[in-house]
Amino acid sequence: MKASYLIIISVLIFNLNAVAQSGTFAKVYSTFQTSCSYVYCHSNITQAGNLNLEGAGFTDADRMNDVYNNLYNKSPKNTYASRKGYKLVSPGDPYASFLFRKAHGNLKGDDLVLHPDEGDAMPQHGIALENKEAEIIRQWILYGAPKDGEVVDTSLIGRFYREGGIVSANEPPKAPEEGKGFQIHLGPFFLAPKAEIEFFSKYDTRLKTNIEVKEIDAYMGKGYSHHFILFRYKDSDKNLQPWGLRKDNAHMNTEMVSAHQQSEAIPLPPGTAFPWNAGSYLDLNTHYINYSTTKVLAAEVYVNVYTQPAGTAKQVMYSSLIANTSIFIPNDKKEHTFTDYFLAENSYLWAITSHTHKYGKDYDVYFAEKDGKLGEQIFEGSCKNGIPGCMSTNYDYQHPPVRKFSPFLPIKSQTGNRRIAHVAKYVNNGAKPVTFGATSDDEMMVLLAMYVKDTTGLGEAALGSGKLPSGAHLQLSANVFPNPFSQTTNIAFRSTKPGKFTLVITDAAGRTIYTEAGTSTAGVNQLTVTLADLPKGLYIYNLLLGNGAKATGKISKL
β partners of residue 352 = 403, 449
Write the single-letter amino acid at 370. Answer: K
Residue 238 has a pLDDT of 65
Residue 406 has a pLDDT of 86
Residues 104 and 31: their CA atoms lie apart, in Å, by 12
Residues 542 and 558: their CA atoms lie apart, in Å, by 20
- Average per-residue pLDDT in the chain? 86
Residue 3 has a pLDDT of 44
**Is residue 49 predicted with pLDDT exceeding 90?**
no
Is residue 541 within 8 A of residue 468, CB to CB? The reply is no
DSSP H/E element including 353: strand 347-355
Is residue 315 within 8 A of residue 271, CB to CB? The reply is yes
With residues binned 3-state (H G I as helix, E B as strand, rest as coil), the percentages for the chain, rounded to 5, are: 20, 40, 45
CB proximity list for 65: less than 8 A, separation 6 or greater: 55, 57, 147
At residue 18 the predicted structure's pLDDT band, cuts being 50, 70 and 90, is: very low
CB proximity list for 335: less than 8 A, separation 6 or greater: 361, 425, 426, 427
- Give the lowest-confidence range in 77-81, 95-99, 347-351, 458-462: 458-462
Residue 289 has a pLDDT of 93
Residue 464 has a pLDDT of 45
DSSP H/E element including 16: helix 2-20
**Is residue 17 predicted with pLDDT exceeding 50?**
no
Query: Which one has a higher pLDDT value, 55 or 417?
Result: 55
**Is residue 6 predicted with pLDDT exceeding 50?**
no
CB proximity list for 441: less than 8 A, separation 6 or greater: 430, 434
- Burial of 493 per CB tally in 10 Å (0-12, 13-18, 19+): buried
Per-residue burial over 243-275, b = 16 or more CB atoms within 10 Å of its CB, e = otherwise:
bbbbeeeebeebebbbbbbbbeebebbebbbbb
The CA-CA-CA angle for residues 403, 406, 412, to 5°, reads 90
Residues 390 and 369: their CA atoms lie apart, in Å, by 24
What's phi and psi for 61, nearest 5 deg? -60, -45
At residue 295 the predicted structure's pLDDT band, cuts being 50, 70 and 90, is: very high
Per-residue pLDDT tens digits for 20-46: 457 999 999 988 888 765 544 665 556
Residues 88 and 394: their CA atoms lie apart, in Å, by 51
HEC string of 56-86 equals CCCCHHHHHHHHHHHHECCCCCCHHHHHHCC
What's phi and psi for 207, nearest 5 deg? -70, 130
At residue 290 the predicted structure's pLDDT band, cuts being 50, 70 and 90, is: very high
Per-residue pLDDT tens digits for 422-446: 999 999 999 999 999 988 899 999 9
Residues 254 and 235: their CA atoms lie apart, in Å, by 8
Write the single-letter amino acid at 326. Answer: S
Residue 393 has a pLDDT of 77
What mean pLDDT comes out for the span 249-257?
81
What's phi and psi for 490, nearest 5 deg? -120, 140
Residue 101, classed as helix, strand or coil, is helix
Residues 151 and 338: their CA atoms lie apart, in Å, by 40
Helices 60-71 and 24-35, packing angle to 10 deg: 90
Q: How far apart are the first and last CA of the chain?
A: 93
Nearest residue to 254 (alpha-carbon basis) of 321, 169, 178, 172 = 321
Per-residue pLDDT tens digits for 111-137: 999 999 999 888 776 678 899 999 999
Residues 410 and 404: their CA atoms lie apart, in Å, by 13
Is residue 359 within 8 A of residue 329, CB to CB? The reply is yes
In angstroms, the Cα distances linking 288 to 139, 223, 432, 436 are 17, 9, 23, 18
**Is residue 67 predicted with pLDDT exceeding 70?**
yes
What mean pLDDT comes out for the span 481-494?
84
Residues 70 and 137: their CA atoms lie apart, in Å, by 16
CB proximity list for 442: less than 8 A, separation 6 or greater: 357, 434, 435, 436
Residue 116, classed as helix, strand or coil, is helix
The CA-CA-CA angle for residues 150, 154, 155, to 5°, reads 125
At residue 543 the predicted structure's pLDDT band, cuts being 50, 70 and 90, is: confident
- Give the lowest-confidence range in 254-268, 316-330, 468-482, 497-511: 468-482
In angstroms, the Cα distances linking 183 to 104, 259, 351, 423, 448 are 19, 17, 24, 36, 24
Residue 478 has a pLDDT of 63
Residues 101 and 250: their CA atoms lie apart, in Å, by 31
Residue 550, classed as helix, strand or coil, is strand
